[in-house]
Amino acid sequence: MKTKIAAPKTRRNTELVLLVVAVAIVLVAYANVGLAVNESLPVDFFTLGGGFAVVAFAFHLVLRWKASYADPVLLPIVTLLNGLGLVMIHRIDLAPGSPDAAPKQLMWTAVAAIAAVALLFFVPDHRRLRRYTFIFGLTGFVLLLTPLLPGIGRNINGSRVWIAVGGFSFQPSEIAKILITIFFASYLVQTRDALSLVGRRVLGLPLPRARDMGPILIAWIASLGVLVFESDLGTSLLFFGLFVGMLYVATERRSWIIIGLGLFLVGAYVAYLLFAHFQERVSLWLDPFQPGMSDQIAKGLMGMAAGGMFGTGLGQGHPELTYFANSDFIIPSFGEEIGLVGLCAILVLYGLLVERGLRAGVASRDGFGKLLATGLAFSMALQVFVVVGGVTRVIPLTGLTTPFLSAGGSSLLANWVIVALLLRISDHARRPTTENEGRPENLGTDDTQIVNVK
Amino acid sequence: MNAPIRRLGLVVAAMFCALLVATTVIQFVQARSLDDRPGNRRTLLASYSKERGSILVGGSAAAVSTKTDDQYKWLRTYPHKSLYADVTGYFSFTYGSTGIERSEGDFLNGSSDKLFYRRLTDIVTGQSAQGASVQLTINAKAQEAARKALGNQKGAVVALDPKTGAILAMVTSPSYDPNKLSSHNLDQVQQSFTQLSKDPDQPLLNRTINGNLYPPGSTFKLVTAAAALESGSYQTGSTLPGPAKLRLPGTDSYLPNDFPGNCGANDKVSLKRALTISCNTAFASLGMKLGQDELRSMATKFGFGKSLSVPMPVTPSVFPNDLNKPQLAQSAIGQYDVRATPLQIAMVSAAIANGGKEMTPYLVQSVRDKNLDVIQSTDAKEFANPISDGTAKDLTNMMESVVSEGTGTNAAIPGIKVAGKTGTAEHGAGRNADVWFTGFAPADNPKVAVAVLVENGGTAGQEASGGLVAAPIAKQVMEAVIGK
């Protein structure tokens, strides 16, 4: 007996409605800043605002065409976050003595969206990425280390995480993050069986075999290398946390988490003992108001406090008094001007974004897709936690960009690519298998084929 | 792999919860205290954007905001320059604020919760927001007299109304011109501030309530005498040993009098006479008889060790713990580690003047909004009741004889009964004594209680004593209040 199952809806119209709301919020915020600061609508309200809307809706059309079953919430959330980031960067530009960062950010938004669209075109199935597992892995680790190269490496704000080529600076770790996540996912899918084999039991905890400890040790040493040679605590934490999280998901063995946490604590403690830089971070975390020390956390806290429950209103606070108000400290800038309520809304948007990514992982029908979606979503969660936790004193402050909000091209580009990958995986997960009927021309191009048996 | 992904989802949820809690703590729970941190530029900018309320002394303004054309919109000015600086404090863009400017900042800048309803009506009626004005208890004449009498000497004067606790004068020297710190020329402000904060004489310090505490010297004998009278074992006529010098038990050292010779015939002296001539040996042995617990308990009743705000916080005065006999002997005459603020010593006199009831000192009489409606006014409150009415009368009687025939004759005001006590606190070699006078007048109907402290002997240098240097200053302040 055959039961007829209703085909899943594409949900593209839901996405369109949400997208209209997201674009509307951004445009209202932009108008609000102009009215508050100059008491008039921004002169480029219709050109810039219109341009932004065109980019968002064009992306939507591409999804209808190329990934029609993709998750309908991802694009609206990302549009809203990116748009709000643009508005805040523009608002800080208007404060006296601030550089012009908004036009550059707008250009990067367009570039990033185009890159994401290109990815949707050229990667019709995420499993194709598995073919290049080791190329991605190698490129990723090389990119991670490029800032150390003399000549192109740049030391900015105490961390050596930038490269500059021909007057053009870039943070390669952002791109490396994606490549390495793909590599991890592919590698772990292959080796998960071996890694989940149990060796000895210690204190009732089934430990993995000693010979399987290699990968986690390599990841640990690599993150320590980033930490020591590039002085970048945030990136180091992000990579190691990502690896341990993915290892756990791949093997379903809790002992990996315990081993990972142990290694992390040892590494962090040794770094704390060895480097004055980290000791300073920790002591500022415990008390940000110490006289004679950096007052950047203190200034951010005062900004957030000034915002209180509902904020001063866009354009009416003084976010420019905080250092890096449009990059590392953009979260306090939002806290000041749109208040606790607005900041919580932003955090909830991030939470939804991560949740949607994890959901794509759960729904995905292949192990690689599951691990990749989980890894990408988890890396975004870690990054938000590290950067927002740093400015709100949950953890010591480390330098990472706030996804989609911070001024900075490499971060924007990388995060749009992550979203494009998540869209691709969710599209694949929700697309009904029956669609393969009548499309035999696809046969043979994918790694795994679905054979319909009648 | 779905189960671990879901569990990872829980970890992510926990991480985001931590962030939500942390932002709530910062922007809601701690917001007020972060806003109030000194040097918070945002709070300052916000308070500069509207007219700050005035600080008033009598009918004239000690601090007032005037309109300017620059980005700060309002300039804080102090028309009397340094005269009220110790009370008003300063209001600086770069360095935050001190004194009343800080303690009453919420009212002055209009952000107090008590002004909520008025802010609301301002928004509805479209009127420009304005802070509330603060009326001080300071008596302009007493303040001027104290400033003038203290002159260039380092020291402090504080005068109280013994019946209410209202602070009538609060002067410390050297002082500063707060206009130089409230200026909008931030470079000059920085220069002035650096200069003031590096000055070894610490002109920014309010010596009456903060900063270095001083050994109260013989003024503390009032507390020792109070403890003796309250114990019931002593009357004003009780006989005490009064040799020229007293051997400290268990040591080879001696505690001498400030004057040569003994305190009375046959090395005997009455309690009243001992206070009149400030006999160290009599009070040292009295202290040892009473014991440290009795002394400490009396000092604590007067306010030693207790925190107090006027509304600026007052550093608590100290009576030391765990004394041996020689230390107790010295403590009984206000030496060793006994330390006091001039305000505390004035409160001792005021309590004696007010029949044993010590009133809580305060500087703010009332707060009025811009329509001159009173938002808050201070009522006299009892701080403590350290001694009985009878003990207060006895002490008054003894203190009158200090001024009429003892060490404090320079405080005498013709035609008015003045009660007082001098103090000369030794610092050992290399530094002259800190000299004191505390008292009240008129003794039969007290209107003012004062404490005067002059550091390092003042202009009299090595010759300095409380009676010589501090008493004349107290006299002029008391005269200014009584109106003679």
B1 versus B230: which is more confidently predicted? B230
Nearest to A392 among B11, B19, B31 (CB): B19
- The pLDDT of residue A449: 60
The mean pLDDT of B140-156, rounded to a whole number, is: 90
**Section B369-395 average pLDDT:** 88
Interchain proximity A392–B26, CB inside 8 Å: yes
Q: Which residue has the higher pLDDT, A172 or A23?
A: A23
* Spatial separation of the C-alpha atoms in residues B285 and B234, rounded to whole Å: 13
Angle value at C-alpha B311, between B306 and B315, nearest 5 degrees = 35
Selection from B8, B60, B352 nearest residue A254 by Cα: B8
Measured CA to CA, the distance from residue B364 to residue A191 in angstroms comes to 76
The mean pLDDT value for B207-230 works out to 88
Q: Does the pLDDT value for residue B7 go beyond 80?
A: yes
Mean pLDDT of B257-282: 86
Could you read off the pLDDT of A56-103 as tens digits, one per residue? 999 999 999 999 899 999 999 999 999 999 999 999 888 776 678 888
What pLDDT does residue B95 have? 83
B42:A340 CB<8 A: no
Q: Where are the domains of chain B?
A: 217-364+385-482
Of the residues B2, B6, B8, B95, the best mutation for testing chain A's interface (the one with the most A CB atoms within 10 Å of its CB) is: B8
Q: A212-255 pLDDT, tens per residue?
A: 777 777 777 877 777 777 777 788 888 889 988 998 998 888 88
pLDDT for the residue A435: 52
Does the pLDDT at position A1 exceed 60?
no
Secondary structure of chain A: what % helix, strand, coil (to 5)? 70, 5, 25
Phi, psi values for residue B166, rounded to 5°: -60, 135
C-beta atoms of A250 and B18 within 8 A: no
Q: What pTM did the predictor assign?
A: 0.64
A389–B18 C-beta distance less than 8 A: yes
- Are the beta carbons of B419 and B441 closer than 8 angstroms? yes
Stretch A33-60: mean pLDDT? 88
**A388 and B19: CB-CB below 8 Å?**
yes
B1 CA to chain A: closest CA distance, Å? 6
pLDDT given at position A451? 62
Q: Which superfamily is assigned to B217-364+385-482 in CATH?
A: DD-peptidase/beta-lactamase superfamily (3.40.710.10)
What HEC string does chain B produce? CHHHHHHHHHHHHHHHHHHHHHHHHHHHHCHHHHHCCCCCHHHHHHHHCCECCCEEECCEEEEEEEECCCCCCEEEECCCCCCCHHHHCCEECCCEECHHHHHCHHHHCCCCHHHHHHHHHHHHHCCCCECCEEEECCCHHHHHHHHHHHCCCCEEEEEECCCCCEEEEEEEECCCCCHHHHCCCHHHHHHHHHHHHHCCCCCCCCCCCCCCCECCHHHHHHHHHHHHHHHCCCCCCCEEECCCEEECCCCCCEEECCCCCCCCHHHEEEHHHHHHCCCHHHHHHHHHHHCHHHHHHHHHHHCCCCCEECCCEECCCECCCCCCHHHHHHHHCCCCCCEECHHHHHHHHHHHHCCCCEECCECEEEEECCCCCEEEECCCCEEECCCCHHHHHHHHHHHHHHHHHCCCHHHCECCECCEEEEEEECCCCCCCCEEEEEEEECCCCCCEEEEEEEHHHHHHHHHCCHHHHHHHHHHHHHHHHHCC
pLDDT tens for B58-88 read 888 888 888 887 767 788 889 998 899 999 9
What would the mean pLDDT of A414-441 be, rounded to a whole number? 80
% of chain B exceeding 70 in pLDDT: 97
Distance from CA of B100 to the nearest CA of A (A): 23
**What pLDDT does residue A438 have?**
46
Q: What is the pLDDT of residue A74?
A: 95
Nearest to B42 among A321, A371, A378 (CB): A321
**Tokens matching residue A63:** 């999804």
Average pLDDT over residues B432-447: 89
Q: What is the pLDDT of residues A128-173, one digit of tens each?
A: 898 888 899 889 888 888 887 777 777 766 666 677 766 667 788 8
Q: Please check the confidence at residue A424 and state whether its pLDDT lies above 60.
A: yes
In the predicted model, is pLDDT for residue A175 greater than 80? yes
Q: Domain segments of chain A: what residues?
A: 12-432
Q: Which residues contact B305 (CB under 8 A, 6 or more apart)?
A: B299, B316, B317, B318, B319
Tokens 């994401």 identify what position? A116
> Exposed (0-12), middle (13-18) or buried (19+): which is A101, by Cβ within 10 Å?
middle
- Average pLDDT of B287-306? 90
Is the confidence at residue B204, as pLDDT, over 80? Answer: yes
Q: Select the residue of A361, A382, A394 nearest B5 (Cβ to Cβ).
A: A361
Helical (H) or strand (E) element with A162: strand A159-164
User: Cβ of A304 and B9 within 8 Å?
Assistant: no
pLDDT at A442 over 60: no
Q: Which residues contact B440 (CB under 8 A, 6 or more apart)?
A: B162, B349, B350, B352, B353, B418, B419, B420, B446, B448, B449, B450, B478
Q: Residue A437: what pLDDT? A: 47
Q: Which one of A309, A374, A388 has the shortest CB-CB distance to B28?
A: A309
Q: Which chain A residues are closer than 8 Å to B32 by Cβ? A: 305
* CA-based nearest residue in chain A for residue B19: A389
Over residues B330-357, the mean pLDDT reads 91
Per-residue confidence (pLDDT) for residue B126, from 0 to 100: 60
pLDDT of the residue at A445: 53
Cα distance between residue A300 and residue B324, in whole Å: 53
* Contact by Cβ (8 Å): B243, B281: yes
Would you state the pLDDT for residue B434?
87
**What's the CA gap between A372 and A362, in Å, rounded?**
11
Helix (H) or strand (E) holding A160: strand A159-164
The C-alpha atoms of residue A393 and residue B29 are separated, in whole angstroms, by: 14
Residue partners of B149: CB distance under 8 A and separation at least 6 = B157, B472, B473, B476, B477
On chain B, the residues whose CB falls within 8 A of the CB of A362 are 2, 5-6
Give the residue-averaged pLDDT of B276-281. 88
Q: Helix or strand or coil: residue A51?
A: helix
Mean pLDDT computed over A398-422: 91
- Residues from chain A contacting residue B31 (CB–CB below 8 Å): 304-306, 308
Partner-chain contact A249 B26, CB within 8 Å: no
- For chains A and B, CB pairs below 8 A equal 124
Q: Quick one: what percent of chain B has pLDDT higher than 90?
A: 33
pLDDT, tens digit, for every residue of B91-124? 888 888 899 988 888 888 887 777 777 777 766 6
Measure Cα distances from A235 to A264, A387, B157 in Å: 13, 11, 61
Residue A156, H or E segment: strand A153-156
The least confident of A117-121, A220-224, B99-103, B358-362 is A220-224
Task: Look at A335 and B27 and tell me if their CB atoms are within 8 Å.
Answer: yes
Taking CB atoms and an 8 Å limit, are B2 and A362 in contact across chains? yes
pLDDT at B137 over 60: yes
pLDDT classification of A441: cutoffs 50, 70, 90:
very low
Q: Which of A388, A395, A400, A422 has the highest number of chain B CBs within 10 A, making it the mutation to test binding with B?
A: A388
Q: Which tens digits make up the pLDDT trace of A335-347?
A: 999 999 999 999 9
Which residue in B218, B317, B331, B349 is the catalytic one?
B218
**Nearest Cβ partner of A381 from B12, B35, B45?**
B12
Q: How does the average pLDDT of chain A come out, rounded?
A: 85
Return the DSSP state at A290: -
Annotated catalytic residue B218 = yes
Measured between alpha carbons, how far is B416 from B438 in angstroms, rounded to an integer? 16
Q: Are A422 and A377 in contact (CB under 8 A)?
A: yes
Residue A76's pLDDT is 96
**pLDDT of the residue at A26:** 95
